[in-house]
Amino acid sequence: MSIFKTDNITMRFGGLTAVSNLNINIEENEIVGLIGPNGAGKTTCFNMITGVYTATEGKIHFKDVDITNEKTHNITKLGIARTFQNIRLFKDLTVLDNVVIANHMRLNSNIVSAVIRTPSYIKKEKYIHEKSINLLKSVGLEDLKDEKASSLPYGKQRRLEIARALATDPKLLILDEPAAGMNPQESLELMGFIKEIRKNHKLSILMIEHHMQVVMGVCERMYVLDYGVLIAEGNPSEIQNNPKVIEAYLGVD
């Protein structure tokens, strides 16, 4: 069953067309890759999906809801969360506090109840604390909960950023180059980690990734962009052997 799709989305910046008539479909509990050479339009696509940009043309649907013109915070509440190529943590806060903050998006309380700390507010705070600890446990960071986020090794900062995204209770998780900056061992661990969070959190995942071993190892289907145009779609084997994809990445003789 489809959870997400785009209908001919196009993004223009003045006279430049960054993405042209792109159609993507993601099924429930599916891991899908969006790949292409630098400048292909992948991040622009992510920014349209998450409300950073509004598509010049076309429609974006999530769970049969038109989110084309929705604001970023509303899209998050509907169930789409993302990470970024450049990690964006609250580096001076603890690992636990980074996750707790994300949980507050779904805390339905007002300023008065927070100030006087009503019983219902305290109950919600306790729930958020327990949920945050469980999320850290699920990504292998529970023992580091009191450390500053900036003190974590790079690979663990990536895990924390994903945990923070998971705290918003998404149904679609968008990962922007999760293996960027990782060493070979961290990249290998990431592959298993992505499959694990998909299973444990019953997620669909859409990811941009330049690390071909990672994207080929975890994605069931892939879309390939080149200069903003979709040039190929299929499973990893089909993509690896597609002449248009080979040409886009390696050029032709």
Rounded distance, CA 145 to CA 139, Å?
A: 11
Residue 252 clears pLDDT 60, i.e. is over it? no
Residue 146 clears pLDDT 90, i.e. is over it? yes
Separation in Å, CA 48 to CA 17, 18, 67, 70, 117: 13, 11, 10, 10, 39
Residue 175 · residue 82 · CB < 8 Å: yes
Whether residue 174 is found in the same domain as residue 237 = yes
Whether residue 177 is found in the same domain as residue 72 = yes
C-alpha torsion angle, residues 41, 48, 9, 214 (rounded to 10): 50
Beta pairing class for 2-13 and 16-22: antiparallel
Domain boundary among the residues 168, 199, 224 is at: 168
Whether residue 103 is found in the same domain as residue 127 = yes
CATH number at residue 75: 3.40.50.300
Compare 53 and 117 and report the one with higher pLDDT.
53
Determine which of 122-131, 159-168, 174-183 has the lowest per-residue pLDDT on average.
122-131
Domains identified in the chain, total number: 2
Whether residue 183 is found in the same domain as residue 208 = yes
Q: Domain range for residue 96?
A: 90-168
pLDDT more than 70, % of the chain:
92
Whether residue 215 is found in the same domain as residue 250 = yes
Region 105-116: mean pLDDT is 58
Domain annotation covers residue 239: yes
User: What's the confidence (pLDDT) of residue 199?
Assistant: 92
Domain annotation covers residue 19: no
Domain boundary among the residues 168, 197, 230 is at: 168
Whether residue 73 is found in the same domain as residue 102 = no
Whether residue 70 is found in the same domain as residue 192 = yes
Whether residue 247 is found in the same domain as residue 180 = yes
Determine which of 50-59, 65-74, 80-89, 197-206 has the lowest per-residue pLDDT on average.
80-89
Whether residue 73 is found in the same domain as residue 174 = yes
Range with the largest mean pLDDT of 99-108, 119-128, 211-220: 211-220
Which residues does residue 80 pair with via DSSP β-bridges, in sequence order? Answer: 172
Whether residue 113 is found in the same domain as residue 185 = no
Rounded distance, CA 82 to CA 248, Å?
A: 27
Report, in this order, helix, strand and coil percent for the chain, each rounded to 5. 45, 25, 30
Measure the N-to-C terminal CA separation of the chain; round to a whole number of Å. Answer: 42
20-29 pLDDT per residue, tens: 999 999 999 9
Residue 158 · residue 87 · CB < 8 Å: yes
Whether residue 178 is found in the same domain as residue 74 = yes
Domain annotation covers residue 135: yes
pLDDT band at 180 (very low <50, low <70, confident <90, very high): confident
pLDDT band at 106 (very low <50, low <70, confident <90, very high): low
pLDDT band at 185 (very low <50, low <70, confident <90, very high): confident
The model carries a pTM of 0.87
Domain annotation covers residue 186: yes
78-95 pLDDT per residue, tens: 999 999 878 888 889 999
Domain boundary among the residues 152, 168, 184 is at: 168
Compare 45 and 122 and report the one with higher pLDDT.
45
Domain annotation covers residue 60: no
Whether residue 141 is found in the same domain as residue 249 = no
Region 142-165: mean pLDDT is 92
Q: Judging by beta carbons within 10 Å of its beta carbon (0-12, 13-18, 19+), is residue 224 exposed, middle or buried?
A: buried
pLDDT band at 124 (very low <50, low <70, confident <90, very high): confident
Q: What DSSP string describes 161-173?
A: HHHHHHTT--SEE
